[in-house]
Protein backbone atom coordinates (compact mmCIF):
# COMPACT_ATOMS: atom_id res chain seq x y z
CA UNK A 1 0.00 0.00 0.00
CA UNK A 2 2.22 2.79 -1.27
CA UNK A 3 -0.22 5.41 -0.03
CA UNK A 4 0.12 4.36 3.58
CA UNK A 5 3.84 3.97 3.24
CA UNK A 6 4.21 7.56 2.05
CA UNK A 7 2.17 8.75 4.99
CA UNK A 8 4.18 6.84 7.50
CA UNK A 9 7.45 8.04 6.06
CA UNK A 10 6.11 11.58 6.26
CA UNK A 11 5.01 11.01 9.85
CA UNK A 12 8.44 9.65 10.62
CA UNK A 13 10.27 12.75 9.42
CA UNK A 14 11.21 13.82 12.92
CA UNK A 15 12.43 10.46 14.06
CA UNK A 16 16.13 9.88 14.59
CA UNK A 17 17.77 7.61 12.09
CA UNK A 18 19.38 5.69 14.92
CA UNK A 19 16.11 4.05 15.82
CA UNK A 20 17.01 0.79 14.09
CA UNK A 21 16.67 -1.92 16.65
CA UNK A 22 16.99 -5.63 17.10
CA UNK A 23 14.14 -6.99 19.23
CA UNK A 24 15.39 -8.21 22.58
CA UNK A 25 14.39 -8.12 26.19
CA UNK A 26 17.25 -7.58 28.61
CA UNK A 27 18.29 -5.41 31.49
CA UNK A 28 20.69 -2.62 30.64
CA UNK A 29 23.67 -2.69 32.94
CA UNK A 30 24.55 0.98 32.49
CA UNK A 31 21.08 2.32 33.09
CA UNK A 32 20.91 5.42 35.23
CA UNK A 33 18.24 7.83 36.33
CA UNK A 34 18.44 11.51 35.55
CA UNK A 35 16.55 14.62 36.54
CA UNK A 36 13.45 14.37 38.69
CA UNK A 37 13.07 14.90 42.41
CA UNK A 38 15.64 12.88 44.30
CA UNK A 39 15.60 10.27 41.58
CA UNK A 40 11.81 10.36 41.36
CA UNK A 41 9.90 11.70 38.37
CA UNK A 42 7.67 14.72 38.50
CA UNK A 43 5.97 13.74 35.26
CA UNK A 44 4.87 10.25 34.23
CA UNK A 45 3.77 9.08 30.79
CA UNK A 46 2.41 5.53 30.92
CA UNK A 47 1.99 3.91 27.49
CA UNK A 48 -0.20 0.86 26.97
CA UNK A 49 -0.46 -1.05 23.72
CA UNK A 50 -3.59 -3.05 24.39
CA UNK A 51 -3.49 -6.73 23.50
CA UNK A 52 0.17 -6.71 22.53
CA UNK A 53 2.26 -9.78 23.23
CA UNK A 54 6.05 -9.63 22.77
CA UNK A 55 5.55 -11.41 19.43
CA UNK A 56 3.36 -8.54 18.23
CA UNK A 57 6.13 -6.08 19.12
CA UNK A 58 8.58 -8.21 17.14
CA UNK A 59 6.35 -8.42 14.07
CA UNK A 60 5.65 -4.66 14.08
CA UNK A 61 9.33 -3.89 14.47
CA UNK A 62 10.32 -6.08 11.52
CA UNK A 63 7.50 -4.63 9.41
CA UNK A 64 8.47 -1.08 10.38
CA UNK A 65 12.05 -1.74 9.30
CA UNK A 66 10.71 -3.18 6.05
CA UNK A 67 8.45 -0.28 5.05
CA UNK A 68 9.69 2.68 7.15
CA UNK A 69 13.41 1.96 7.15
CA UNK A 70 13.52 2.13 10.95
CA UNK A 71 12.52 -0.02 13.87
CA UNK A 72 10.11 0.75 16.67
CA UNK A 73 10.81 3.48 19.23
CA UNK A 74 9.75 0.88 21.80
CA UNK A 75 12.78 -1.26 20.95
CA UNK A 76 15.10 1.67 20.36
CA UNK A 77 14.27 2.68 23.95
CA UNK A 78 15.28 -0.80 25.08
CA UNK A 79 18.73 -0.28 23.61
CA UNK A 80 19.18 3.09 25.33
CA UNK A 81 21.70 2.85 28.14
CA UNK A 82 19.50 5.15 30.24
CA UNK A 83 16.50 2.83 30.01
CA UNK A 84 15.49 -0.30 31.88
CA UNK A 85 13.70 -3.23 30.35
CA UNK A 86 11.87 -6.26 31.56
CA UNK A 87 8.75 -8.35 31.51
CA UNK A 88 5.54 -7.97 33.49
CA UNK A 89 3.30 -10.67 34.92
CA UNK A 90 -0.18 -9.28 34.20
CA UNK A 91 -2.41 -12.01 35.65
CA UNK A 92 -5.72 -11.05 37.25
CA UNK A 93 -7.37 -12.43 40.39
CA UNK A 94 -9.74 -14.65 38.43
CA UNK A 95 -7.36 -16.04 35.82
CA UNK A 96 -3.79 -16.20 34.59
CA UNK A 97 -5.34 -14.64 31.46
CA UNK A 98 -6.43 -11.10 32.27
CA UNK A 99 -8.80 -8.74 30.53
CA UNK A 100 -8.01 -5.06 30.09
CA UNK A 101 -10.01 -3.78 33.04
CA UNK A 102 -8.41 -6.11 35.60
CA UNK A 103 -4.98 -5.44 34.10
CA UNK A 104 -5.27 -1.67 34.11
CA UNK A 105 -6.87 -1.81 37.56
CA UNK A 106 -3.83 -3.68 38.89
CA UNK A 107 -1.75 -0.66 37.88
CA UNK A 108 -4.47 1.72 39.01
CA UNK A 109 -5.14 0.39 42.52
CA UNK A 110 -2.30 -2.04 43.31
CA UNK A 111 -4.62 -5.04 43.65
CA UNK A 112 -5.45 -7.99 41.48
CA UNK A 113 -9.18 -8.09 40.86
CA UNK A 114 -11.53 -10.26 38.81
CA UNK A 115 -11.75 -9.87 35.06
CA UNK A 116 -14.51 -7.48 34.08
CA UNK A 117 -14.34 -5.30 37.19
CA UNK A 118 -12.77 -1.84 37.49
CA UNK A 119 -10.87 -1.22 40.74
CA UNK A 120 -13.43 -3.31 42.59
CA UNK A 121 -12.92 -6.39 44.77
CA UNK A 122 -15.08 -9.54 44.46
CA UNK A 123 -17.16 -8.46 47.47
CA UNK A 124 -17.96 -5.21 45.59
CA UNK A 125 -15.63 -3.06 47.69
CA UNK A 126 -14.66 -0.11 45.51
CA UNK A 127 -10.96 0.72 45.69
CA UNK A 128 -9.32 4.12 45.30
CA UNK A 129 -8.00 4.55 41.76
CA UNK A 130 -4.69 6.22 41.03
CA UNK A 131 -6.20 9.39 39.58
CA UNK A 132 -8.35 9.94 42.67
CA UNK A 133 -5.31 9.65 44.92
CA UNK A 134 -3.16 11.96 42.79
CA UNK A 135 -5.78 14.70 42.75
CA UNK A 136 -5.09 16.10 46.22
CA UNK A 137 -1.31 16.47 45.76
CA UNK A 138 -2.19 18.45 42.61
CA UNK A 139 -0.95 16.14 39.93
CA UNK A 140 -2.61 16.99 36.63
CA UNK A 141 -4.04 13.83 35.09
CA UNK A 142 -4.78 12.78 31.54
CA UNK A 143 -6.18 9.83 29.60
CA UNK A 144 -5.63 9.45 25.86
CA UNK A 145 -6.84 6.44 23.90
CA UNK A 146 -7.94 5.24 20.50
CA UNK A 147 -10.89 3.41 22.08
CA UNK A 148 -13.95 4.92 23.67
CA UNK A 149 -12.64 7.09 26.50
CA UNK A 150 -14.65 5.06 29.02
CA UNK A 151 -13.10 1.79 27.84
CA UNK A 152 -11.39 -0.59 30.26
CA UNK A 153 -7.78 0.61 30.10
CA UNK A 154 -8.34 4.32 30.76
CA UNK A 155 -11.05 3.38 33.26
CA UNK A 156 -8.48 1.46 35.32
CA UNK A 157 -6.61 4.68 36.13
CA UNK A 158 -9.57 7.02 36.52
CA UNK A 159 -12.58 5.22 37.97
CA UNK A 160 -13.97 2.39 40.08
CA UNK A 161 -17.13 0.37 39.47
CA UNK A 162 -18.37 -3.21 39.52
CA UNK A 163 -18.37 -3.68 35.75
CA UNK A 164 -16.33 -2.28 32.89
CA UNK A 165 -19.57 -2.19 30.94
CA UNK A 166 -21.00 0.56 33.16
CA UNK A 167 -19.75 3.34 30.93
CA UNK A 168 -22.07 5.91 32.48
CA UNK A 169 -20.58 5.31 35.93
CA UNK A 170 -17.08 5.55 34.47
CA UNK A 171 -17.86 8.80 32.64
CA UNK A 172 -19.35 10.28 35.79
CA UNK A 173 -16.33 9.17 37.83
CA UNK A 174 -13.98 10.97 35.44
CA UNK A 175 -16.01 14.16 35.73
CA UNK A 176 -16.18 13.97 39.50
CA UNK A 177 -12.39 13.55 39.66
CA UNK A 178 -12.05 16.43 37.19
CA UNK A 179 -9.46 14.57 35.12
CA UNK A 180 -7.83 17.35 33.16
CA UNK A 181 -7.43 15.74 29.71
CA UNK A 182 -9.75 13.08 28.27
CA UNK A 183 -9.17 12.31 24.58
CA UNK A 184 -10.55 9.33 22.65
CA UNK A 185 -13.83 8.10 21.19
CA UNK A 186 -17.31 7.60 22.60
CA UNK A 187 -19.73 10.29 21.37
CA UNK A 188 -22.55 7.76 21.61
CA UNK A 189 -21.87 7.27 25.32
CA UNK A 190 -21.91 10.97 26.13
CA UNK A 191 -25.53 12.05 25.79
CA UNK A 192 -26.45 15.74 25.87
CA UNK A 193 -27.16 15.85 29.60
CA UNK A 194 -23.79 14.28 30.39
CA UNK A 195 -22.00 16.73 28.11
CA UNK A 196 -23.82 19.55 29.87
CA UNK A 197 -22.58 18.25 33.22
CA UNK A 198 -19.04 18.19 31.89
CA UNK A 199 -19.38 21.75 30.64
CA UNK A 200 -20.68 22.76 34.07
CA UNK A 201 -17.46 21.36 35.53
CA UNK A 202 -15.42 23.54 33.18
CA UNK A 203 -14.73 21.10 30.36
CA UNK A 204 -14.33 22.12 26.75
CA UNK A 205 -15.80 19.57 24.34
CA UNK A 206 -13.88 18.71 21.13
CA UNK A 207 -15.30 16.47 18.41
CA UNK A 208 -12.86 16.95 15.54
CA UNK A 209 -9.14 17.43 15.14
CA UNK A 210 -9.82 21.07 14.27
CA UNK A 211 -11.69 21.48 17.55
CA UNK A 212 -8.71 20.01 19.35
CA UNK A 213 -6.33 22.48 17.72
CA UNK A 214 -8.45 25.41 18.89
CA UNK A 215 -9.03 24.51 22.53
CA UNK A 216 -7.79 26.63 25.40
CA UNK A 217 -4.87 24.64 26.79
CA UNK A 218 -5.42 26.18 30.21
CA UNK A 219 -8.79 24.47 30.71
CA UNK A 220 -9.97 20.88 30.98
CA UNK A 221 -10.93 19.05 27.79
CA UNK A 222 -13.13 16.14 26.80
CA UNK A 223 -12.34 15.09 23.23
CA UNK A 224 -14.66 12.57 21.57
CA UNK A 225 -13.58 12.01 17.99
CA UNK A 226 -15.87 9.14 16.97
CA UNK A 227 -19.21 7.66 17.92
CA UNK A 228 -17.50 4.58 19.32
CA UNK A 229 -13.83 3.66 19.09
CA UNK A 230 -11.59 5.71 16.80
CA UNK A 231 -11.11 4.14 13.36
CA UNK A 232 -8.25 1.72 12.95
CA UNK A 233 -5.13 3.34 11.56
CA UNK A 234 -5.19 1.33 8.34
CA UNK A 235 -8.69 2.69 7.64
CA UNK A 236 -7.65 6.20 8.64
CA UNK A 237 -4.79 5.98 6.13
CA UNK A 238 -7.17 4.94 3.35
CA UNK A 239 -9.93 7.49 3.93
CA UNK A 240 -9.28 11.20 3.58
CA UNK A 241 -12.56 11.97 5.35
CA UNK A 242 -11.24 10.27 8.49
CA UNK A 243 -7.90 12.05 8.21
CA UNK A 244 -9.76 15.36 8.08
CA UNK A 245 -11.63 14.85 11.34
CA UNK A 246 -9.93 12.25 13.53
CA UNK A 247 -6.60 13.07 15.20
CA UNK A 248 -3.90 10.42 15.42
CA UNK A 249 -2.74 9.04 18.75
CA UNK A 250 0.49 11.03 18.30
CA UNK A 251 -1.48 14.25 17.75
CA UNK A 252 -3.63 13.62 20.82
CA UNK A 253 -0.51 12.86 22.87
CA UNK A 254 1.11 16.09 21.68
CA UNK A 255 -1.92 18.13 22.75
CA UNK A 256 -2.17 16.32 26.09
CA UNK A 257 1.47 17.06 26.89
CA UNK A 258 0.99 20.68 25.88
CA UNK A 259 -1.89 20.97 28.35
CA UNK A 260 -0.58 18.89 31.24
CA UNK A 261 2.97 20.16 30.89
CA UNK A 262 1.92 23.60 32.10
CA UNK A 263 1.83 22.04 35.57
CA UNK A 264 4.99 20.94 37.37
CA UNK A 265 3.53 17.46 38.08
CA UNK A 266 1.38 15.30 35.87
CA UNK A 267 0.57 11.74 34.88
CA UNK A 268 -0.73 10.75 31.45
CA UNK A 269 -1.89 7.34 30.29
CA UNK A 270 -1.68 6.86 26.51
CA UNK A 271 -3.36 3.77 25.11
CA UNK A 272 -3.13 2.27 21.64
CA UNK A 273 -6.36 0.41 22.21
CA UNK A 274 -7.18 -1.00 18.83
CA UNK A 275 -4.23 -3.34 18.44
CA UNK A 276 -6.19 -5.60 20.75
CA UNK A 277 -9.32 -5.40 18.62
CA UNK A 278 -7.42 -6.30 15.46
CA UNK A 279 -5.72 -9.21 17.24
CA UNK A 280 -9.11 -10.50 18.43
CA UNK A 281 -10.05 -10.58 14.73
CA UNK A 282 -6.77 -12.17 13.55
CA UNK A 283 -6.32 -9.05 11.42
CA UNK A 284 -2.58 -8.71 10.81
CA UNK A 285 -2.64 -5.46 8.77
CA UNK A 286 -5.07 -3.86 11.25
CA UNK A 287 -2.93 -4.78 14.26
CA UNK A 288 0.40 -3.80 12.75
CA UNK A 289 -0.68 -0.36 11.49
CA UNK A 290 -2.28 0.50 14.83
CA UNK A 291 0.88 -0.60 16.59
CA UNK A 292 2.95 1.69 14.36
CA UNK A 293 0.63 4.59 15.20
CA UNK A 294 1.11 3.76 18.89
CA UNK A 295 4.84 3.84 18.35
CA UNK A 296 4.61 7.30 16.76
CA UNK A 297 3.05 8.50 20.01
CA UNK A 298 6.02 7.12 21.96
CA UNK A 299 8.28 9.29 19.81
CA UNK A 300 6.26 12.35 20.85
CA UNK A 301 6.90 11.48 24.50
CA UNK A 302 10.61 10.86 23.92
CA UNK A 303 10.91 14.29 22.29
CA UNK A 304 9.09 15.80 25.28
CA UNK A 305 11.40 14.04 27.69
CA UNK A 306 14.49 15.51 26.01
CA UNK A 307 13.30 18.98 27.03
CA UNK A 308 11.87 17.79 30.37
CA UNK A 309 14.26 15.25 31.92
CA UNK A 310 12.11 15.04 35.05
CA UNK A 311 9.76 12.87 32.96
CA UNK A 312 9.46 9.09 33.34
CA UNK A 313 8.22 7.17 30.30
CA UNK A 314 6.90 3.64 30.83
CA UNK A 315 5.92 1.57 27.78
CA UNK A 316 4.16 -1.76 28.11
CA UNK A 317 1.03 -3.77 27.27
CA UNK A 318 -1.88 -4.92 29.41
CA UNK A 319 -1.87 -8.48 28.00
CA UNK A 320 -1.23 -10.42 24.82
CA UNK A 321 -3.99 -11.21 22.37
CA UNK A 322 -4.35 -13.71 19.56
CA UNK A 323 -0.89 -15.21 19.77
CA UNK A 324 0.34 -13.83 16.44
CA UNK A 325 3.45 -15.42 14.99
CA UNK A 326 5.58 -14.42 12.01
CA UNK A 327 6.51 -17.80 10.66
CA UNK A 328 9.29 -19.20 8.59
CA UNK A 329 7.79 -19.61 5.12
CA UNK A 330 9.13 -21.24 1.97
CA UNK A 331 12.47 -22.84 1.28
CA UNK A 332 14.88 -22.07 4.13
CA UNK A 333 12.20 -19.65 5.37
CA UNK A 334 13.29 -17.30 2.60
CA UNK A 335 9.77 -16.25 1.63
CA UNK A 336 8.95 -14.64 4.98
CA UNK A 337 10.21 -11.07 4.29
CA UNK A 338 8.32 -10.77 0.99
CA UNK A 339 5.15 -12.20 2.49
CA UNK A 340 5.31 -9.78 5.42
CA UNK A 341 5.74 -6.90 2.95
CA UNK A 342 2.34 -7.88 1.48
CA UNK A 343 0.79 -6.30 4.56
CA UNK A 344 1.41 -2.85 3.09
CA UNK A 345 -0.88 -3.64 0.15
CA UNK A 346 -3.93 -4.03 2.41
CA UNK A 347 -6.64 -1.42 1.84
CA UNK A 348 -8.44 -1.71 5.16
CA UNK A 349 -9.13 -3.52 8.39
CA UNK A 350 -11.21 -6.67 8.73
CA UNK A 351 -13.62 -4.45 10.64
CA UNK A 352 -14.29 -2.49 7.43
CA UNK A 353 -13.78 -5.13 4.76
CA UNK A 354 -15.46 -8.29 6.02
CA UNK A 355 -19.01 -7.07 5.46
CA UNK A 356 -18.26 -6.65 1.73
CA UNK A 357 -16.43 -9.97 1.61
CA UNK A 358 -19.37 -11.78 3.15
CA UNK A 359 -21.62 -10.47 0.36
CA UNK A 360 -19.59 -12.29 -2.31
CA UNK A 361 -21.77 -15.06 -3.74
CA UNK A 362 -19.18 -17.45 -5.15
CA UNK A 363 -15.49 -18.28 -5.13
CA UNK A 364 -14.51 -16.05 -8.10
CA UNK A 365 -16.17 -13.08 -6.40
CA UNK A 366 -14.31 -13.84 -3.15
CA UNK A 367 -11.05 -14.06 -5.10
CA UNK A 368 -11.74 -10.74 -6.85
CA UNK A 369 -12.63 -9.00 -3.57
CA UNK A 370 -9.46 -10.22 -1.85
CA UNK A 371 -7.34 -9.27 -4.84
CA UNK A 372 -8.83 -5.78 -4.94
CA UNK A 373 -8.34 -5.14 -1.22
CA UNK A 374 -5.14 -7.10 -0.48
CA UNK A 375 -3.51 -7.67 -3.90
CA UNK A 376 -3.49 -11.36 -2.97
CA UNK A 377 -4.60 -14.21 -5.25
CA UNK A 378 -6.48 -16.75 -3.19
CA UNK A 379 -6.72 -20.27 -4.54
CA UNK A 380 -10.22 -21.48 -5.43
CA UNK A 381 -9.97 -23.85 -2.47
CA UNK A 382 -9.20 -20.98 -0.07
CA UNK A 383 -12.06 -18.89 -1.50
CA UNK A 384 -14.47 -21.78 -1.17
CA UNK A 385 -13.35 -22.32 2.41
CA UNK A 386 -14.30 -18.73 3.30
CA UNK A 387 -17.76 -19.30 1.81
CA UNK A 388 -18.17 -22.44 3.91
CA UNK A 389 -17.15 -20.59 7.06
CA UNK A 390 -19.46 -17.68 6.25
CA UNK A 391 -22.38 -20.07 5.85
CA UNK A 392 -21.33 -22.04 8.93
CA UNK A 393 -21.05 -25.19 6.80
CA UNK A 394 -17.55 -25.98 8.05
CA UNK A 395 -16.53 -28.21 10.93
CA UNK A 396 -14.69 -26.48 13.75
CA UNK A 397 -11.72 -28.44 14.99
CA UNK A 398 -10.21 -25.78 17.28
CA UNK A 399 -12.61 -23.57 19.24
CA UNK A 400 -10.55 -20.45 19.90
CA UNK A 401 -10.03 -19.70 16.20
CA UNK A 402 -13.43 -20.74 14.87
CA UNK A 403 -15.00 -17.39 13.93
CA UNK A 404 -15.18 -15.93 10.44
CA UNK A 405 -12.43 -13.35 10.94
CA UNK A 406 -10.25 -16.01 12.55
CA UNK A 407 -10.58 -18.22 9.49
CA UNK A 408 -10.03 -15.23 7.19
CA UNK A 409 -6.88 -14.39 9.18
CA UNK A 410 -5.62 -17.94 8.87
CA UNK A 411 -6.42 -18.03 5.14
CA UNK A 412 -4.42 -14.83 4.65
CA UNK A 413 -1.67 -16.28 6.88
CA UNK A 414 -0.66 -18.27 3.81
CA UNK A 415 0.05 -14.93 2.11
CA UNK A 416 1.33 -12.77 5.01
CA UNK A 417 3.28 -15.41 6.93
CA UNK A 418 1.49 -14.33 10.13
CA UNK A 419 -0.64 -16.98 11.80
CA UNK A 420 -2.76 -16.81 14.93
CA UNK A 421 -3.22 -19.00 17.99
CA UNK A 422 -6.70 -17.77 18.87
CA UNK A 423 -9.03 -14.80 18.88
CA UNK A 424 -8.64 -14.45 22.64
CA UNK A 425 -6.31 -12.87 25.16
CA UNK A 426 -3.27 -14.86 26.20
CA UNK A 427 -1.28 -15.36 29.40
CA UNK A 428 1.94 -13.96 27.93
CA UNK A 429 4.12 -11.88 30.18
CA UNK A 430 4.31 -8.52 28.44
CA UNK A 431 7.34 -6.49 27.43
CA UNK A 432 8.22 -3.45 29.50
CA UNK A 433 10.63 -0.57 29.00
CA UNK A 434 11.06 2.58 31.07
CA UNK A 435 13.28 5.61 30.70
CA UNK A 436 13.78 8.56 33.02
CA UNK A 437 13.95 9.10 36.77
CA UNK A 438 12.63 6.09 38.67
CA UNK A 439 12.98 3.81 35.65
CA UNK A 440 15.28 1.45 37.56
CA UNK A 441 12.17 0.08 39.29
CA UNK A 442 10.87 -1.25 35.97
CA UNK A 443 13.35 -3.98 35.19
CA UNK A 444 13.57 -7.74 35.28
CA UNK A 445 10.34 -9.62 35.86
CA UNK A 446 7.87 -7.50 37.80
CA UNK A 447 4.24 -7.91 38.86
CA UNK A 448 1.53 -5.65 37.47
CA UNK A 449 0.50 -4.48 40.96
CA UNK A 450 4.01 -3.13 41.63
CA UNK A 451 3.32 -0.20 39.29
CA UNK A 452 0.76 1.34 41.65
CA UNK A 453 3.20 1.34 44.57
CA UNK A 454 5.86 3.01 42.48
CA UNK A 455 3.53 5.75 41.30
CA UNK A 456 2.31 6.33 44.87
CA UNK A 457 5.88 6.59 46.05
CA UNK A 458 6.80 9.02 43.27
CA UNK A 459 3.95 11.24 44.49
CA UNK A 460 5.09 10.93 48.13
CA UNK A 461 1.97 8.96 49.13
CA UNK A 462 1.94 5.93 51.42
CA UNK A 463 -1.63 4.89 50.64
CA UNK A 464 -2.33 1.26 49.77
CA UNK A 465 -5.68 -0.26 48.85
CA UNK A 466 -7.08 -3.29 50.66
CA UNK A 467 -5.92 -6.53 49.03
CA UNK A 468 -8.35 -9.39 48.43
CA UNK A 469 -7.59 -12.24 50.80
CA UNK A 470 -10.71 -14.33 50.21
CA UNK A 471 -11.13 -17.21 47.83
CA UNK A 472 -10.64 -16.56 44.16
CA UNK A 473 -12.65 -17.94 41.31
CA UNK A 474 -9.46 -19.39 39.91
CA UNK A 475 -8.52 -21.19 43.14
CA UNK A 476 -12.02 -22.63 43.46
CA UNK A 477 -12.40 -23.85 39.91
CA UNK A 478 -8.81 -24.92 39.26
CA UNK A 479 -7.25 -26.24 42.48
CA UNK A 480 -3.77 -26.50 40.97
CA UNK A 481 -3.82 -22.77 40.38
CA UNK A 482 -4.01 -22.00 44.08
CA UNK A 483 -0.35 -22.90 44.32
CA UNK A 484 0.39 -20.64 41.38
CA UNK A 485 -1.31 -17.73 43.11
CA UNK A 486 0.68 -18.36 46.29
CA UNK A 487 3.94 -18.16 44.43
CA UNK A 488 3.41 -14.73 42.99
CA UNK A 489 6.47 -12.79 42.10
CA UNK A 490 7.54 -10.46 44.89
ZN1 LIG B 1 -9.28 -7.69 24.23
Give tens-digit pLDDT for 407-421: 999 999 999 999 999
- Residue 395 pLDDT class (50, 70, 90 cuts): confident
Q: How far is the CA of 84 from the centre of ligand 1 (A)?
A: 27
pLDDT band at 398 (very low <50, low <70, confident <90, very high): confident
pLDDT of residue 13: 37
Look at residues 379, 401, 419 and tell me which one is the last residue of a structural domain: 419
**CA-based diameter of the chain, in Å?**
68
Measured in angstroms, how far is the CA atom of residue 426 from the centroid of ligand 1?
Answer: 10
Q: Are the C-beta atoms of residues 415 and 426 closer than 8 Å to each other? A: no
Residue 199 Cα to ligand 1 middle (Å): 32
Confidence of residue 478 (pLDDT cuts 50, 70, 90): very low
d(Cα 23, Cα 9) in Å, to the nearest integer?
A: 21
Q: Do 72 and 185 have their domain in common? A: yes
| pLDDT bracket for residue 463 (50, 70, 90) | very high
pLDDT tens, position by position, 290-304:
999 999 999 999 999
Beta strands 83-89; 444-447: pairing state:
parallel
Q: What is the pLDDT at residue 35?
A: 52
What pLDDT band is residue 1 in, cutting at 50, 70 and 90?
Answer: very low
- Report how far ligand 1's centroid is from the alpha carbon of 262 (Å): 34
403 CA from centroid of ligand 1 (Å): 15
Residue where one domain finishes, among candidates 370, 398, 419? 419
Give the bridge partners for 48, in sequence order.
271, 316
In a domain, 254, yes or no: yes
pLDDT of residue 24 exceeding 80: no
Q: Mean per-residue pLDDT for 313-341?
A: 98
Q: How far is the CA of 320 from the centre of ligand 1 (A)?
A: 9
Distance 269 CA to ligand 1 centre (A): 18
- Does any domain span residue 18? no
Going from the Cα of 321 to the center of ligand 1, the distance in angstroms, rounded, reads 7
CA of 274 to the centre of ligand 1 (A): 9
Residue 20 covered by a domain = no
Ligand 1 centre distance from Cα of residue 286 (Å)? 14
Report the b/e string of 334-364 with b at 16+ CB within 10 A. Answer: eebeebbebbbbbbbbbbbbbeebbebeebe
Kind and range of the H or E run holding 210 = helix 209-214
Ligand 1 centre to CA of 189 (Å) is 20
448 and 399 assigned to the same domain? no
Cα-to-centroid distance, 297 and ligand 1 (Å): 21
The answer to whether residue 44 is domain-embedded is yes
- What is the 198 CA–ligand 1 centroid distance (Å)? 29
The candidate with the shortest Cα–Cα distance to 295, out of 311, 278, 313, is 313
Q: Which of 31, 49, 28 is nearest to 430 (CA)?
A: 49
Query: Is the same domain home to 258 and 123?
Result: yes
- The per-residue pLDDT for 220 is 98
Which tens digits make up the pLDDT trace of 179-203?
999 999 999 999 999 999 999 999 9
What is the extent of the structural domain holding 294? Answer: 25-324+424-484
Q: 318: CA distance to ligand 1 center in Å?
A: 9
* Residue 150, in any domain of the structure: yes
Q: Return the SS3 of 72.
A: coil
DSSP string, 255-323: HHHHHHTTSSSEEEEEEETHHHHHHHTT-HHHHHHHHHHHHHHHHHHHHHHHH-TTEEEEEEES-EES-
Question: Of 377, 399, 419, which closes a domain?
Answer: 419
Check whether residue 264 and residue 312 sit in a common domain: yes
Ligand 1: centre distance to CA 451 (Å) = 21
Lowest-pLDDT choice from 71-75, 200-204, 468-472: 468-472
Query: Are 128 and 275 within one domain?
Result: yes
Regarding whether 264 and 211 lie in a shared domain, the answer is yes
**Domain assignment of residue 367, yes or no:** yes
Please give the Cα distance from 99 to 117 (Å, whole number): 9
Looking at the fold, whether 42 and 138 belong to one and the same domain comes out as yes
pLDDT greater than 50 at residue 80: yes
Q: pLDDT tens digits, residue range 104-130? A: 999 999 999 999 999 999 999 999 999
> Would you say residue 440 has pLDDT above 90?
yes
Residues 378 and 434 in one domain: no
Mean pLDDT of the 45-60 span: 98
Average pLDDT on 391-414 reads 92
Say if 379 falls within a structural domain. Answer: yes
Angle CA 315–316–317, to nearest 5: 145
| Residue 480 pLDDT | 41
Give the total number of structural domains in the chain.
Answer: 2
Q: What is the pLDDT of residue 476?
A: 44
260 and 205 within one domain: yes
The pLDDT tens digits for 141-153 are: 999 999 999 999 9
How far apart, in whole angstroms, are the C-alpha atoms of residue 153 and residue 283?
A: 21
How much of the chain exceeds pLDDT 70, in percent?
89
Question: How far, in Å, from the CA of 101 to the mean position of ligand 1?
Answer: 10
Residues whose CB is less than 8 angstroms from the CB of residue 262 and which lie 6 or more positions away in sequence, other chains included: 140, 217, 218
Q: Mean pLDDT, to the nearest integer, of 425-453?
A: 97
Number of H helices, E strands in the chain: 22, 14
Q: Is residue 1, in this structure, part of any structural domain at all?
A: no
Q: Are residues 434 and 412 in the same domain?
A: no
- Dihedral angle sign, alpha carbons of residues 399, 403, 409, 410: positive
Tell me what pLDDT residue 21 has: 31
- Stretch (H or E) spanning 146: strand 140-148
Q: How far is the CA of 152 from the centre of ligand 1 (A)?
A: 10
CATH at residue 311:
3.40.720.10
Mean of pLDDT values over 249-263: 97
CA distance 159 to 65: 38
- Banded model confidence at residue 488, pLDDT cuts 50, 70, 90: very low
CA–centroid distance, 400 to ligand 1, in Å, is: 14
Same domain, yes or no: 258 and 377: no
Element (H, E) at 431: strand 430-435
Q: How far is the CA of 281 from the centre of ligand 1 (A)?
A: 10
Residue 35 gets which letter from DSSP? S
* d(CA 197, ligand 1 centre) in Å: 31
Q: Are 365 and 230 in a shared domain?
A: no
Distance 429 CA to ligand 1 centre (A): 15
- CA of 473 from ligand 1 middle (Å) equals 20
Ligand 1 mean position to 88 CA, how many Å? 17
Amino acid sequence: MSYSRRNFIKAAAGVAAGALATPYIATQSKAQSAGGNGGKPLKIIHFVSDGTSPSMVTISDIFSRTVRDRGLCWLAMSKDENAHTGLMDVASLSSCVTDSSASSSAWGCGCRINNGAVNCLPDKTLLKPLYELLREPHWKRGLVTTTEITHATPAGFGSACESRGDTTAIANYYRTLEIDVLLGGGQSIYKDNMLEEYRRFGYQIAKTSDDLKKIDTGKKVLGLFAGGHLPMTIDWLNHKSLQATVPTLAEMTTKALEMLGANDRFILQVEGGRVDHACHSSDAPGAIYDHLAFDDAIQVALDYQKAHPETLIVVTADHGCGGPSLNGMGSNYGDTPALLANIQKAKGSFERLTSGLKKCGNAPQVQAYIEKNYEIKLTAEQANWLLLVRDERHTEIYGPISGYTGQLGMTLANHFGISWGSGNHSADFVALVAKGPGSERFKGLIRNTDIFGHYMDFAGLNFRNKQWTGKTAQAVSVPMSAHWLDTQIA
